[in-house]
Structure 1
Amino acid sequence: MNLENNDELEQFKNYMHERFDELERDSRGTAWDFVGLSVSLDYLASLTKIKVKTKEKVRWQSGREYFTLFINNFFPGAYSQFTYRNGSNDLPEQMYCILRCGLAHAFSLYGEPGGHGRTGSIMIGHGEGNLIPAQKAPPRDDSVILNFIPFINDVRTALDSLIEAARSDSQLKDRMLKRIRAKPPLQLILE
């Protein structure tokens, strides 16, 4: 076991927890809280991206692939098991389309035109509880409400689960550290 690599993982984990603490402390009850959290979630998910073989070529996983796998593998099971009232069981994909592609990349809660994101499939708020099916008619289709504090706590849980997985999977650890060193988040620099 390379203690130095585990120290770097611990340093990264502590750094990210400090950022989540800042987001929570500085929360003003606006959409900006979710923008910062969505960007952080996208970064964490990107650390798990791998090359996959399809037919005759090897390619990197698409954002949709690695993001939804990250949600399914590292978030509490309620996310992958959530079923909308319309019967859809695709919350991880909706999180990709609405939070990552919509909010983090386009500053909107609308999914990409022609994509798989359903406008109104995710509503954001600052109440209590999480993964709450909307009680009132959503803008379109069925909807789930993600409230900031429970959601940021679930992102913290996902970070901890990711770090634990990396401690026992040397390939994941190496990929993560290579990515963190190449593109450190904001002011974190691992030497």
Structure 2
Amino acid sequence: MDISIYQSWINDRIEELRTAQRIKLEIDRLNGSAWDFVLMGCLVDIISRINYNNLNSSLKRTSKLFDDRLPQYREAFYNIPKRINDVPEQIYMVMRCGLVHSLSLVPDKNVIDRKPYKDHWRKGSLLLTHRGNHLQMRTRRYNGHLIDACQLDYSTMLEDMQSALDAIFQDAEHDTALSAHIEKFVSENPTLGFVSSIPQDT
């Protein structure tokens, strides 16, 4: 199997997300849409699975993706209510467990209450925007308490995901184990396709 075909396919999907931003009016782009970050959560999950799959935890796979490919996400530190650099885990909790699963910024209670997830769950930890200042910490009042929130800019994060994906496929050119892993992932998760025409009798 030629994994470059899959690389081209997923690159085309990312280009669709870029195009969706370009065709918006400026005010609409700046105000953004919750669906942008729902799709971002999906993209993070897919790339984390392509990057490494020998982990039985989707949280650990997400952490490893950022540690391996996007270490700048570890450079942002929360100081309130405690000093910790877990932006990748916040992305997992908010985007994947919250937005993707429930179209909410709050994950299901069975996730929040379960280890190791509950160690990383904090309300209001991310500010999802289309207005720049990516990975900047903002101290704000939330439910009567001061907290730190990390601001994520959609377009910047999208380009970061593209960079991570490019690095994975570049490594796969020389890493036979990674190449075989990607082949297995694609064979088990066939790509979406479009039917050029639907028979009239269906």
TM-score by length of structure 2 reads 0.77
Among residues 14, 19, 23, which one is paired with 2:17 in the alignment?
23
Superposition pairs of residues 1-191 of structure 1, within 5 angstroms:
5=1, 8-27=2-21, 29-51=32-54, 60-75=55-70, 77-86=71-80, 87-111=83-107, 112-114=111-113, 115=118, 116-138=120-142, 141-187=147-193
**Alpha-carbon distance between aligned partners in 2 of 1:121 and 1:158, rounded to the nearest angstrom:** 23
On the 8 A contact 2:140/2:149 being kept in 1, the answer is no
Structure 1 residue 150, shift from structure 2 partner = 0.6
The one-letter code of the counterpart of 2:112 is P
- Find the counterpart in structure 2 of residue 55 from structure 1: none
On the 8 A contact 1:45/1:70 being kept in 2, the answer is yes
Structure 1 residue 41, shift from structure 2 partner = 1.4
TM-score by length of structure 1 reads 0.81
Percent of counterpart pairs with the same letter? 26
Cα RMSD (Å) of the superposition? 2.0
Max radius of gyration: which structure?
2
Structure 1 residue 106, shift from structure 2 partner = 2.3
The one-letter code of the counterpart of 1:169 is D
- 3-state DSSP of counterpart to 1:145: strand
On the 8 A contact 2:41/2:92 being kept in 1, the answer is no
Gaps of 5+ in 2: 22-28, 195-202
On the 8 A contact 1:85/1:133 being kept in 2, the answer is no
**Alpha-carbon distance between aligned partners in 1 of 2:131 and 2:139, rounded to the nearest angstrom:** 14
Could you list the runs of 4 or more consecutive aligned residues of structure 1 that deviate by over 6 angstroms after TM superposition? Answer: none
Instruction: List per-residue Cα deviations over 1:52-103 (Å, max 9, x = no partner).
Output: xxxxxxxx4211111110111112x210222113311111111111112111
On the 8 A contact 2:127/2:151 being kept in 1, the answer is yes
Q: 1:50 to 1:25 in 2, by over 3 A?
A: closer
The one-letter code of the counterpart of 1:90 is D
On the 8 A contact 2:74/2:86 being kept in 1, the answer is yes
Structure 1 residue 171, shift from structure 2 partner = 0.8
Q: How many residues are paired up?
A: 173
On the 8 A contact 1:42/1:67 being kept in 2, the answer is yes
Structure 1 residue 185, shift from structure 2 partner = 3.6
On the 8 A contact 2:76/2:137 being kept in 1, the answer is no
Instruction: List per-residue Cα deviations over 1:129-173 (Å, max 9, x = no partner).
Output: 311112543566321011111110111111111111222211111
Q: 1:19 to 1:65 in 2, by over 3 A?
A: same
- 3-state DSSP of counterpart to 1:41: helix
Q: 1:162 to 1:124 in 2, by over 3 A?
A: same
Instruction: List per-residue Cα deviations over 1:13-61 (Å, max 9, x = no partner).
Output: 222221111112113520101111211211111123444xxxxxxxx42
